[in-house]
Amino acid sequence: MLTALRCEVQSALAETSSSRKPALRRSDAPDALLATDLPLIADADAQQAFIRRLEGMGWRVLARSGWFLLDKPVPAPQCAISPHAAGECACCISLLARHPDGGDAASAIRAVVKAAESGAQPFERLCAQLHRHLAAALRRHEPLPGALLPYLCQACYHLYERREQL
């Protein structure tokens, strides 16, 4: 899910002059998907051109501690609920499928996309936290982030089912 977005940023970075190839990685910040060290290696004009290019593609660019933090809504994947989902991911999918309310999902979507790209173990750890959060929200009669469901289904498919088919 993050690959296409990463390619967009890499393309913009390739068109930006800098003293070396800029680093691009998943952001540790919860409010951004990706981060680049471009501010440390490019002049102000190149930085502004990069920001304009990304903002023109719908990205939000934040400057923090010598890095640009980059965020953009992740397009919702078209993915069916998997009968083979297991573990904490399956619990989250089940809760969201049964209670498809309209709570804010943006931060949860970012977290799921980044954890899924990190691998099965980080993804399962995130799903355990998410499961606790969803259950607590239900007990408080709060809306669940229903828009998160297709992202969880896609991540589950990508990390588990696809591997079994290979």
Residues 57, 11 share a domain: yes
d(CA 38, CA 50) in angstroms, rounded, equals 9
Confidence of residue 100 (pLDDT cuts 50, 70, 90): confident
Q: Which of 3-7, 9-13, 96-100 has the lowest mean pLDDT?
A: 96-100
- Spatial contact of 39 and 66, defined as CB atoms under 8 Å apart: yes
Helices (H), the chain: 3-14, 38-41, 44-56, 87-98, 106-118, 120-139, 149-156, 162-165
What global pTM score does this model have? 0.82
Q: Is residue 132 in some structural domain?
A: yes
26 occurs within a structural domain: yes
CB neighbourhood size of 159 (10 A): 19
What pLDDT does residue 70 have?
Answer: 97
Range of the domain at 39: 3-71
The answer to whether residue 77 sits within a structural domain is: no
Residues 101 and 138 in one domain: yes
Q: What CA dihedral angle connects 5, 11, 17 and 22, to 10 degrees?
A: 50
**60 shares a domain with 96:** no
Question: Is the same domain home to 67 and 98?
Answer: no
Query: Does the pLDDT of residue 165 top 60, yes or no?
Result: no
82 in a domain, yes or no?
Answer: no
In tens, the pLDDT along 34-84 reads 999 999 999 999 999 999 999 999 999 999 999 999 999 998 888 777 666
Lowest-pLDDT choice from 21-30, 55-64, 137-146: 137-146
166 pLDDT exceeds 50? Answer: no
Number of domains in the chain: 2
Instruction: Answer whether residue 21 shows pLDDT above 60.
Output: yes
Of the candidates 44, 71, 98, which is a domain's last residue? 71
Q: For residues 39 and 93, state if they share a domain.
A: no
Same-domain status, 64 and 93: no
In a domain, 79, yes or no: no
Mean per-residue pLDDT, 128-149: 92
Shared domain check, 108 and 62: no
